[in-house]
Every structure is written in structure tokens, then in C-alpha cells.
Amino acid sequence: MSNQFGPDYVRAIAPYQGGKPIAEVAREFGLDEAKITKLASNENPLGMPDSAKQAMLKAMSDIGRYPDSNGFELKAAITAKYAVPQDWITLGNGSNDILELAAHAFVQPAQSVVFAQYSFAVYPLATQAVGARAIVVPAKNFGHDLAAMSKAIAEDTRLVFIANPNNPTGTFLPAKEIEAFLQTVPQNVVVVLDEAYNEYLAPELQYDSIAWVRKYPNLLVSRTLSKAYGLAGLRVGFGIAQPHVTDLLNRIRQPFNVNSLAQAAAIAALNDEEFLKKSARVNAEGYRQLTQAFEAMDLEYVPSFGNFVLVRVGNDDGAGARVNLALLKQGVIVRPVGNYGLPQWLRISIGLPEENAAFIDALKKALA
Ligand SMILES: *Cc1c(COP(=O)(O)O)cnc(C)c1O
């Protein structure tokens, strides 16, 4: 008798590798937690907005009750901000949830999903979890090659994932290119446009993806409160699509997938323009600080439009792991990206000025 439970495609899934938790690094390397710098998970270095904290404290008194499964008030906040009807919104336990719901709702085993090489690790995971085939399209200059992705769409393709800006490379697709791509995608293929880092885009790069949702019945835009809004630990995200898409996602969504504290905090954060502005400013300053240091050290990096930078720390395939270990020993946690097929690179989340400085200092020692 076999002791191997479950379908082959589930057993073949390589577990998601997240950023190492601070407590784990402290234990492993015998370091003081307070002296550890974590720049590994693209979290907001400012933490959560105070407005969200106050909203949560208020919501605490009702925690004995189930959350609103339809998230009426949170959807109202999203409706007000993005001018979309309530029935165009799907709430998610983080936007990861939206990505997975899309795979479950639209793809069957033996069908296929298209995404780019060096794009978000959750795309292959969500694809494999439903037993579908991944069509991975080679990257162009570390970003999506949309012309090639369009050509790669097969008869059995039901879903395409696009991240803009992309993680882990930080590349950006101008609006024109995305819209040209959307025009080529067959009507029976859903396109997920994952905009986790949208709020970091400079005003001149911002584009109206919600207008595309009105125009393209097969487009699902996903957003998160985990990055610029500073609520990664709460797990809130949302998808915007026309009702025939939203309806299917909501049928398979867990009824209480967004908890009440998360709903309350998200409403406050969505309305906290000041916090968002500050986050973008701190990020832009940190980006300059890091990239100036990389240039001074003659290190190649990929120009980034997110809250992180991909930097090449050597030209042998052991470089990423080696330099990562040397950084960990100095109490600096960044993200090795060998699992993305980028073994010579590290992804650095942009931190506060003193965190960036601690990293730069440790990197100089690691490379000396
Ligand atoms: C961080 C990230 C997400 C979402 O994370 P959640 O915390 O689940 O909202 C989604 N897509 C990309 C590309 C990301 O980098």
C-alpha cells in the first residue's frame, strides 16, 4: 500500500520560502533581536498607520462576534476610493488569497496558466495547487515580455498572471504596453493584473487600471494593504473585476476570509492619504540611498519601481547564498532569490535610513 497521499501535483509543490523571521535569525546566529535589521519581505518600514491602529483598538470590543462576511463597510471604502460598484469587489486574506481564488475559480487540472520568468513565487504555487500546467515565458530585461506572453497563450490557457511592478525584479510595464496586451488576450482567458506595489509609483507613471476593468470583462486587478499601507500582518487585499468574475471568486471564498480587525484597519488605511504619501517619500529616499551605495560599490542592480531592489552580489552561482549568510551573521536579513533562478542576486527591501545604512555597512564587510 502506498503511504503517499494526495495527487502528484500537490506532492510536487515546493513550499513557499518567505523572509526569515527576526526571532529565528536571533536564535540561529546567537544575536540580539533588537539589533537585527530585516529587509526581506517588502514590508513598510514605517509599520502600520496610527489611524489603522486606532480603528483596530475600537473594533477589538466586538471581537467576540464573527466579522461581516460581505465586508460592507470595507467595500464601501473601496467603492468611494476607486469608483467601482460593490459587486465588482472581492475581499481577500491578503491579495495572495485573490491570486489563489482566481486559479481555483478559472482553471481546471490539465489546463494551463501563463506567467513570466522571475515573477512572483505565488503564481507557480497557485497554478500547481489546482493541478494546472505552468507556461513560464522567458523574461526580457528582468521583466515581462508581453508580446511573448501573448504568443504563449495556448488553447487550454485559462489564466495569465502579470505583476506590475514585478516582484522580485522591480520592473515596470508602461500602461500602453499592458493595454496593447489586453487587446490580444482571448475572451475566455482571465488576466490577473497584480498591482501590489501600485501605490509606490511616481504620479507620472500612475495609470487607470480600473478603466480597463470596465472595458475588459476578463480582467481582474488585485491590490493589497500589505505594502504601502503597512498592514502585512493583518492579511487584507482585494480584487476588482466585473460581476461575472467577482461572483465566481466570491462563491469559493471562505465566508470569513477577512477578519474584523483587518476590515477596520483597512478602512482607516485606505483613507489615510498622508500615511501613503509618507510611505512613498520614505521609499523614494531609501531607493536613492541604496542605489547610490550600489553605484559606489560598482554593483549591478535592476532599476526598481517597488519598495525593494534586486542587486547582483557576485558573478558565480554561489554568490547570493554566500553573501546572504555573511549578512545574516551580521544581523541583516535580506532575501536570497536563488529559488527564482537568480542565484547571483539578492533582493533588498527598502527600509528606514538607518536600516539601509546598517545593510550597506554589512554588505561592504560581506564583500570585502
Ligand atoms: C507582496 C505581494 C503580493 C501580496 O501579498 P499579500 O500580503 O498577500 O497581499 C502580491 N503580489 C506581489 C507581486 C507581491 O509582491
Choose among 133, 46, 135: nearest CA to 349.
46
Instruction: Please give the grid coordinates belonging to residue 233.
Output: 500582518
HEC string of 109-125 equals: CCCEEEEECCCCCHHHH
Res 65: pLDDT: 97
pLDDT in tens, 298-357: 999 999 999 999 999 999 999 999 999 999 999 999 999 999 999 999 999 999 999 999
For residue 17, pLDDT over 80 is answered with: no
Q: What's the CA-to-centroid distance between 1 and ligand 1, angstroms?
A: 40
DSSP-assigned beta bridge partners for residue 199:
none
pLDDT at position 16 is: 80
State in Å: Cα 94 to ligand 1 middle: 7
Give me the mean pLDDT over the 76-81 stretch. Answer: 98
In sequence order, which ranges of the chain are alpha helices (DSSP H)?
A: 8-11, 22-29, 50-60, 72-82, 95-106, 122-129, 146-152, 175-184, 209-215, 243-252, 260-270, 273-296, 319-329, 353-367
As beta bridge partners, residue 143 has 140
With beta carbons less than 8 A apart as the criterion, state whether 115 and 161 touch: yes
- Domain 50-271 is found in CATH 3.40.640.10: yes
Å from CA of 70 to ligand 1 middle: 22
In the DSSP assignment, the letter for residue 62 is T
Torsion sign, CA atoms 364, 365, 367, 368: positive
- Would you place residue 3 in the very low, low, confident or very high pLDDT band (cuts 50, 70, 90)? low
Task: Compute the distance from residue 95 Cα to the ligand 1 centre, in Å.
Answer: 6
Question: Residue 1: is its pLDDT beyond 60?
Answer: no
Maximum Cα–Cα distance across the chain? 62
Residue 2 has pLDDT above 60, yes or no: no
DSSP one-letter code for 140: B
60: amino acid identity, one letter: M
86 pLDDT higher than 80: yes
Across 195-204, average pLDDT: 96
Gap between the Cα atoms of 209 and 228, Å rounded: 18
Residues 297/363, Cβ–Cβ less than 8 Å: yes
Q: Can you tell me which atom of ligand 1 is nearest the CA of 96?
A: 8
Q: Is the pLDDT of residue 111 over 80?
A: yes
Distance 230 CA to ligand 1 centre (A): 12
* Pocket lining for ligand 1, CB < 6 angstroms: 42, 94-96, 120, 163, 167, 194, 196, 224, 226-227, 232, 237
Q: How many CA atoms lie within 13 A of 150 on its CB side?
A: 14
Ligand 1, atom 3: nearest CA belongs to which residue?
Answer: 196
Average pLDDT over the chain reads 96
- Residue reference for cell 507613471: 205
Sequence ranges of the domains in the chain: 17-47+274-367, 50-271
Atom 1 of ligand 1 has which residue's CA nearest to it?
Answer: 196
CATH (residue range 17-47+274-367): 3.90.1150.10
Query: Which residue type sits at 307?
Result: N
Please tell me the number of Cα atoms within 13 Å of 238 on its side-chain side. 27
List beta partners, residue 137. Answer: 116
pLDDT digits (tens, 9 = 90+) for 239-284: 999 999 999 999 999 999 999 999 999 999 999 999 999 999 999 9
Residue among 43, 122, 234 whose CB has most ligand 1 atoms within 8 A, to mutate: 122
Residues of the chain above pLDDT 70, percent: 99
